[in-house]
Amino acid sequence: MRVTVSVAVAGASGYAGGEILRILAAHPEVEIGTLTAHSNAGQAIGGVQPHLRLVAERRFAETTPANLLGHDVVFLALPHGASGELAASLADAAKSRGEDEPLLIDVGADHRLTDEVAWNEFYGTPYAGSWPYGMPELLKSGGGRGRDDLAGVKRIAVPGCNVSAVTLGLQPGVAAGVVDAGDVVAVLANGYSGAGKSLKPHLLASEGMGMAAPYAVGGVHRHIPEIEQNLLAAGAEQVRISFTPTLVPMPRGILATITAPLLGPADAVRPAWESVYADEPFIGLLPDGQWPSTAMTLGANTALMQVAVDERAGRVIVVCAIDNLVKGTAGAAVQSMNLALGLDERAGLGTEGVAP
């Protein structure tokens, strides 16, 4: 018997919210309910998200608890700092109305970190606490994976997009003890959609086309403590990471190049990745010698990677490609929703990219 899940999206006018809607439109078990926005409230959805034809004639509602309650699931695609406040308001409103709280899925940063000290250092806003972490493939040093903690939960924090690329790329080596997580270097090429829809001069096409530019250099990027948190969960004794993201002139996608010192024999490296990802539906280790590109993952809920050993430098090199809006955000959110509700983990999620 088919299950129908009613879903609302708060912040549906942004890139992440729009991508959630695009995926949900193809989900066989979902009925799309209220869609809210802030400055775009009252406007036709087709005027803001013209590619979403299924809901083009509907209008954005205001982002209030009253508009969001009554759904089975609410996705929070809001700016950092807004999700925690809205989640608390939704809980209070549900209690006052005698209703069950919906499953809340936060694609922002508000509930990702378990360490309040790290939150204060990198975000500097009131700490909203941590929620179950929405990375189903995350390895846990005691055994199992992240999906084991998602069944039946009522709160999910979706990982950061850069975090997903680095964590998924490196964690097999950490878990197998073939890399030293105490000296990780990650350099990422990032599409502009990762910066959101805010109108800023350096994000204009006239500024960005034909230019690559680093940002958040020198250990200040907010995804650093989350990467550390994940690699420690995978079994690292300590994590030190030099993390440098770079904007490149493409709408979406992340290509992460990650290196760490080799521990042990070089011929133990590739088998570590093969054994971890052999049965994962959305993670692919490419054939030996083939390297990933962002085009391979465009529009797909996949992370594709390759691993090699630079024996001269004594380092393992992993290159991981994802679509920052799908596997990096909306796809991971829907995948986690499926697990929380007991649906097929793959429902509504594609693995085929779009090329050229």
Mean pLDDT is lowest, of 94-98, 323-327, 341-345, for 94-98
* Distance (Å, whole) CA 169 – CA 26: 28
* Distance (Å, whole) CA 309 – CA 197: 39
Element at 123 (helix H, strand E): none
Top-confidence residue, 121 or 204: 121
**What is the separation of C-alpha 154 from the centre of its chain, rounded to a whole number of angstroms?**
18
- For residue 203, pLDDT beyond 80: no
Q: Which 8-state DSSP code applies to residue 80?
A: T
Element at 309 (helix H, strand E): strand 303-310
Residue 200: pLDDT band with limits 50, 70, 90: confident
Q: Which 8-state DSSP code applies to residue 350?
A: -
CA-based torsion, 262, 268, 273, 275: positive or negative? negative
Element at 224 (helix H, strand E): helix 224-233
Architecture of domain 5-159+327-341: 3-Layer(aba) Sandwich (3.40)
Q: Which pLDDT score is estimated for 276?
A: 98
Phi (first) and psi of residue 153, to 5 degrees:
-75, 160
* Distance between start and end Cα atoms, the chain: 39
Element at 9 (helix H, strand E): strand 5-10
What DSSP letter does each residue of 71-82 carry, written as one string?
-SEEEE---TTH
pLDDT 10s digits, 55-103: 999 999 999 999 999 999 999 999 888 999 999 999 999 999 999 999 9
Q: Which pLDDT score is estimated for 331?
A: 98
Task: With beta carbons less than 8 A apart as the criterion, state whether 260 and 171 touch.
Answer: no
**What is the pTM (predicted TM-score) of this model?**
0.96
Residue partners of 233: CB distance under 8 A and separation at least 6: 138, 139, 140, 141
Residue 208: pLDDT band with limits 50, 70, 90: confident
- For residue 197, pLDDT beyond 80: no
Q: Which pLDDT score is estimated for 199?
A: 62
Q: Which 8-state DSSP code applies to residue 237?
A: S
Q: Which fold has domain 162-324?
A: Dihydrodipicolinate Reductase; domain 2 (3.30.360)
Select from 303, 281, 334, 322 the least CA-distant residue to 20.
Answer: 334
- For residue 267, pLDDT beyond 80: yes
Q: Which pLDDT score is estimated for 198?
A: 67
- For residue 247, pLDDT beyond 80: yes
Task: With beta carbons less than 8 A apart as the criterion, state whether 48 and 13 touch.
Answer: yes
Task: With beta carbons less than 8 A apart as the criterion, state whether 328 and 334 touch.
Answer: no
Share of the chain above pLDDT 70, in %: 99
pLDDT 10s digits, 26-65: 999 999 999 999 989 999 999 999 999 999 999 999 999 9
Q: Where are the alpha helices (DSSP H) in 45-198?
A: 45-48, 65-68, 82-97, 116-122, 161-176
Question: Tokens 């096409």 — which residue?
Answer: 205
What DSSP letter does each residue of 271-304 carry, written as one string?
HHHHHHHTT-TTEEEPPTT----GGGGTTSS-EE
Q: Which pLDDT score is estimated for 195?
A: 72
The single-letter code of the amino acid at 166 is: V
* Distance (Å, whole) CA 285 – CA 278: 8
Active site residue 320: no
Segment 7-13 mean pLDDT: 97
Q: Which of 73, 161, 163, 231 is catalytic?
A: 161
Element at 22 (helix H, strand E): helix 15-24
* Distance (Å, whole) CA 289 – CA 292: 10
Task: With beta carbons less than 8 A apart as the criterion, state whether 336 and 159 touch.
Answer: no
Q: Which pLDDT score is estimated for 210?
A: 84
* Domain residue spans of the chain: 5-159+327-341, 162-324
pLDDT 10s digits, 108-120: 999 999 999 999 9
Residue 336: pLDDT band with limits 50, 70, 90: very high
Over the chain, what is the mean pLDDT?
A: 95
- For residue 193, pLDDT beyond 90: no
